[in-house]
Amino acid sequence: MAEITRVTVIGAGAMGSQIAMLAALAGCETTVVDIDEQRTDAALTKVRGTVARSVERGRLDAEQVEAALPRLTSSTDLAGSVRDADFVIEAIIEDLDAKRALFAELGRFAPADAIFATNSSSIVSSRLADVPKPGRVCNMHFFNPALVMQLVEVVGGAHTSPATIESAVRLAERMGKTPVVVKQEIFGFIANRIVGAIFDEAIALLEAGVATPEEIDTAVTKGLGHPIGPFALLDMTGIDVNVGIKRLEAQETGDPSRGPSRTLLDLEARGRLGKKSGRGFYEYGAQ
């Protein structure tokens, strides 16, 4: 199996830029691609600052970071950026049509043996595998923040070759992550299905008037030992993001009851989107 040396990450958001930095730290020549040059420049500036602070805190080796920084570049040229790629990781918005359009372009411009991975935890790769040689398509789901969180879920469908899974696992290990192979395509995979059940129960308790968000979060952190409570975590990931995930869950499962709760819909309608807007279940002030 050929060693992965060139990685392209599509999407310069928080996840995409951190995944790209992980690839550069793992020794890969890495390009992060987005349609907006200002966005890619801002993403690289931010992620470079993040790793610099990690060096100061002793979490990353200074020499490793110094060697990695020249390997990480940005571009707005999708075709040129994937032309020589060994491994492409998609980290754009959670929209099926947008992802399908992107994978169609990857099928046109990337090498015939390049592996295509989607970072999505809600759209399985079989929905995106209408490309030449679909055996090279899989999910490779990182967790936010990608530079810190250790787990990577690697998921293949019936279309995915064992070699593709092995390559994704090996790349995750080179990045210093702990890969878990999910053996079936299932909505939410493992970790998000479990945390989703916690979110659902926490909101049900709130809506029933059993306890406040603060009290439920305290019970989860102090009683179960979780590092963060469900309402604080919903705020951190974004209320609108979670509304979208619940809508997709209802669509994918065919069960309308799996859609977003009235509490989440109300918060979204009022613009209380969590930490990014300064207000969600909690107040955060200007962000």
Average pLDDT of the residues of the chain: 95
Residue 159 annotated to the active site: no
Query: Over the stretch 158-177, which tens digit does the pLDDT of each residue have?
Result: 999 999 999 999 999 999 99
What is the SS3 assignment for 137? strand
Confidence class for position 112, pLDDT limits 50, 70, 90: very high
* Domain 191-276 part of CATH 1.10.3080.10: no
- pLDDT at position 220, please? 98
Instruction: Average the pLDDT over 37-42 and give the result.
Output: 92
**Catalytic pick from 90, 153, 185, 249?**
153
Determine the pLDDT at residue 287. Answer: 57
Catalytic residue among 141, 159, 167, 249: 141
Q: pTM for this one? A: 0.90
Q: Can 192 be counted among the known catalytic residues?
A: yes
Look at residue 262 and tell me whether its pLDDT is greater than 60: yes
The whole-number pLDDT of residue 144 equals 87
Fold topology of 6-182: Rossmann fold (3.40.50)
User: CA-to-CA distance for 250 and 94, rounded, in angstroms?
Assistant: 15
The active-site residue out of 74, 121, 139, 242 is 121
Domain extents for the chain? 6-182, 191-276
Q: Which of 5-14, 148-157, 244-253 has the lowest mean pLDDT?
A: 244-253
C-beta of residue 189 within 8 angstroms of C-beta of residue 249: no
> Is 121 a catalytic site residue?
yes
Q: Tokens at residue 134, please? A: 């679909």
| 8 Å CB contact between 82 and 113 | no
Burial class, 45, CB count within 10 angstroms (exposed 0-12 / middle 13-18 / buried 19+): exposed
Provide the H-helix boundaries in the chain.
Answer: 14-25, 37-56, 62-68, 78-82, 96-109, 162-174, 191-207, 213-218, 224, 230-237, 239-253, 262-269
- Residue 259 burial (10 A CB sphere; 0-12, 13-18, 19+): middle
Which of 192, 242, 249, 268 is flagged as catalytic? 192
